[in-house]
């Protein structure tokens, strides 16, 4: 299953989840209406009416009961969801998480940071906020957030102490699967909906406590009875909600395990982590009282649910999916060593050797025969090794700047400076106007350090800056967004790459400001968005080919591949960036499988002349980022220039 199929499934799961929770809400509403009807009937003197007639006579009261119940559940769900809307870091902090310092000297924390950064760069997404849970001795981890831009990854102390680098990489690969495949948004939605149903039971318990303080014995009895009934109805709804959550979560855990193998190209890491999870005394258990809310987000079952409510498949089944020859009895001998109080793993933090060096910008790219869509959201071991090379090759002073909240905005602005120094004065004026002279001088000082960077290093460097940018106040992020927009346009000319990089940064920073406002997975068909497709194909053809004749032919080849029955005209424009900006916003609403087809059409446009340079491939990558289809750093395979 590729990225687009995962996305389509996540969308179906989300729709199914909402439908099933609506049924659970309907059951709660029906239960409370029946309770009100019973109370009214018990309070009626004389011969009772037939039940149907009695209900009809009290239809207004029952209607208000239903409306009030739906309103309470809806507002409680909305409150819980909004409380999580500021990003994944709040979830980590709520469980006692601590941010991993950017320049930590602790070897285990440094290893965690390296593994997460490598996985992010290999995936083509911003580096998530990185946390560890120092009080948790169990082996566990989770990813939380609405989008990759506001994601946080957290790992327990037990995982850091007991997992090797390969095992930790397998666990992080599992969590990145949730980040890339749209699971995090679904997780937060589940938390909100479950809380909405549970609030009826909470209200019932509150009513019982208040009723016990009343002076009138009849009021006490009525209040306790009513509260008890509300609690019972609420927990019945919550019971079904838990069953729904468990069913959805178990299936996604199998997919995430498989994705971890696909990312790392080896089963020993993720399988070894699961075996230790099964063998150590503490297992995956978390001690924090708030763990139940996030149980479906965890790498392993941190609660100890019964089989009925388990949010994770049985460990033995998960291990056998990865290692068919696994014998559970073999754990006993290994577990004795793992459970020794002095046991701790710290292997050398050295990634595998590189499979290729960074290709020169003038090199050409050969796209894989299976289609470029197979690379989206699916980093391989080669991508991980290349990410390690890129990360290791970045100058240490620039990495230090990227990880510093005070310096990261200056670095991001410096990355957007024109490659021609003669064109930079208007950009420096724009920076000074928005950010002040001191900020401009800092950017001016950083600029020479960026001149030696390979094109493939610029986006990874920007990605490293995101954990620091997340720590900025919203007003500073807003000002930085404005500065990025002005920087792109200040020199009077906008290259396609400059535009796309600026737009990608604006999109990701916008997600930091309002994570919950990020668009969910789209559902629009290709034929409904022919106009924006024409704009994007035109821009790519215009900037990727030497002559207008070649550009027109490339445009038509892409259109014929994607929309064979459409008659779209190639109409290049000098003022292309405004229409392209609007087109990408519209294309973001495409259904996942439609995006895969669109991506193949984009490749057809770029490669029509038989030459796709690394620079052009980078353009494809950042445009895909704008469509929320992250590509790894090595798009296709580098081929020698002929």
CB atoms near residue 550 (< 10 Å): 14
Q: How far apart are CA 406 and CA 86, in angstroms?
A: 21
- Which residues, 6+ apart, have CB-to-CB distance to 13 below 8 Å? 186, 248, 251, 252
Q: Among all chains, which residue has been given the structure tokens 């075996």?
A: 275
Would you state the structure tokens that stand for residue 179, as one six-digit string?
């980040």
Contact 260, 54 (CB under 8 A): no
- Spatial separation of the C-alpha atoms in residues 243 and 221, rounded to whole Å: 33
Q: Tell me how far apart the alpha carbons of residues 602 and 408 are, in angstroms, rounded to a whole number.
A: 32
CB atoms within 10 A of CB 50: 8
Whole-Å CA distances, 163 to 209, 211, 345, 522? 47, 52, 6, 38
CB burial class (10 A; 0-12, 13-18, 19+) of residue 512?
A: buried
Task: Give Cβ neighbours of residue 444 (< 8 Å, ≥ 6 apart).
Answer: 428
DSSP lists the bridge partners of residue 154 as: 131, 142
Closest to 275 (Cα-Cα) out of 314, 319, 245: 319
Of the candidates 175, 364, 498, 618, the residue annotated as catalytic is 175
**Axis crossing angle, helix 592-606 with helix 3-42, rounded to the nearest 10:** 160
Q: Give the strand pairing for 152-156 and 129-133.
A: parallel
User: What are the structure tokens assigned to 84, written together?
Assistant: 């999580």
Q: Can you give the length of the chain in residues?
A: 642
In the residue annotation, 175 being an active-site residue is answered as: yes
Contacts of 448 (CB under 8 A, 6+ apart): none
Q: Annotated active-site positions, please?
A: 175
């Amino acid at each position: 299953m590729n990225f687009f199929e995962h996305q389509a499934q996540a969308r179906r799961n989300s729709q199914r989840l909402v439908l099933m929770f609506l049924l659970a809400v309907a059951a709660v509403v029906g239960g409370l209406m029946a309770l009100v009807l019973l109370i009214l009937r018990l309070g009626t003197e004389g011969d009772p009416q037939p039940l149907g007639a009695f209900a009809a006579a009290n239809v207004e009261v029952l209607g208000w009961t239903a409306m009030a119940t739906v309103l309470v559940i809806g507002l409680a769900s909305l409150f819980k969801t909004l409380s999580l809307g500021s990003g994944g870091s709040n979830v980590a902090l709520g469980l006692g998480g601590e941010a991993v310092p950017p320049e930590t000297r602790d070897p285990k924390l440094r290893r965690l940071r390296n593994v997460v950064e490598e996985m992010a760069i290999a995936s083509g997404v911003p580096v998530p906020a990185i946390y560890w849970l120092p009080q948790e001795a169990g082996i566990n981890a989770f990813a939380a957030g609405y989008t990759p831009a506001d994601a946080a990854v957290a790992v327990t102390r037990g995982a850091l102490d007991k997992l090797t680098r390969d095992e930790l990489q397998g666990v992080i690969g599992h969590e990145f699967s949730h980040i890339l495949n749209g699971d995090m948004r679904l997780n937060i939605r589940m938390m909100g909906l479950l809380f909405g149903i549970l609030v009826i039971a909470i209200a019932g318990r509150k009513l019982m406590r208040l009723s016990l303080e009343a002076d009138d014995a009849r009021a006490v009895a009525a209040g306790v009875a009513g509260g008890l009934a509300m609690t019972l109805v609420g927990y019945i709804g919550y019971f079904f909600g838990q069953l729904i959550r468990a069913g959805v979560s178990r299936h996604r855990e199998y997919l995430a395990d498989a994705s971890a193998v696909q990312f790392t190209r080896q089963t020993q890491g993720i399988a070894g982590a699961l075996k230790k999870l099964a063998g150590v005394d503490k297992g995956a258990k978390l001690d924090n009282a708030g763990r139940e809310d996030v149980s479906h987000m965890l790498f392993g079952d941190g609660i100890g649910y019964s089989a009925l409510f388990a949010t994770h498949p049985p460990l033995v089944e998960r291990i056998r999916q990865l290692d068919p020859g696994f014998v559970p009895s073999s754990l006993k001998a290994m577990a004795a060593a793992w459970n020794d109080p002095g046991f701790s793993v710290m292997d050398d933090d050295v990634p595998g050797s590189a499979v290729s060096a960074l290709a020169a910008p003038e090199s050409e790219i050969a796209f894989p025969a299976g289609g470029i869509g197979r690379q989206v959201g699916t980093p391989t071991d080669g991508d991980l090794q290349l990410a390690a090379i890129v990360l290791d090759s970045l100058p240490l002073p620039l990495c230090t700047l990227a990880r510093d909240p005070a310096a990261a905005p200056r670095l991001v602005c410096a990355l957007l400076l024109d490659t021609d120094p003669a064109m930079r004065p208007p950009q420096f004026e724009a920076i000074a106007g928005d950010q002040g002279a001191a900020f401009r001088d800092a950017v001016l000082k950083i600029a020479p350090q960026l001149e030696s960077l390979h094109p493939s290093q610029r986006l990874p460097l920007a990605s490293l800056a995101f954990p620091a940018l997340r720590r900025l106040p919203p007003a500073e992020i807003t000002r930085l967004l404005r500065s990025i927009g002005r920087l792109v346009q200040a020199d009077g000319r906008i290259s396609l790459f400059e535009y796309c990089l600026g737009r990608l940064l604006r999109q990701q920073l916008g997600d930091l400001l309002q994570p919950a406002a990020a668009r969910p997975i789209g559902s629009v068909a290709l034929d409904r968005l022919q106009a924006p497709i024409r704009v994007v194909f035109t821009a790519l053809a215009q900037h990727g080919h030497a002559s207008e004749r070649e550009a027109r032919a490339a445009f038509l080849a892409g259109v014929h591949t994607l929309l064979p029955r459409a008659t779209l005209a190639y109409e290049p424009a000098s003022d292309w960036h405004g229409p392209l900006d609007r087109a990408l916003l519209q294309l973001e609403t495409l259904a996942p499988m439609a995006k895969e087809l669109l991506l193949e059409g984009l490749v057809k446009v770029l490669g029509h002349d038989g030459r796709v340079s690394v620079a052009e491939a980078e353009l494809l990558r950042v445009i895909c980022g704008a469509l929320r289809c992250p590509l790894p750093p090595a798009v296709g395979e580098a081929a020698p220039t002929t």
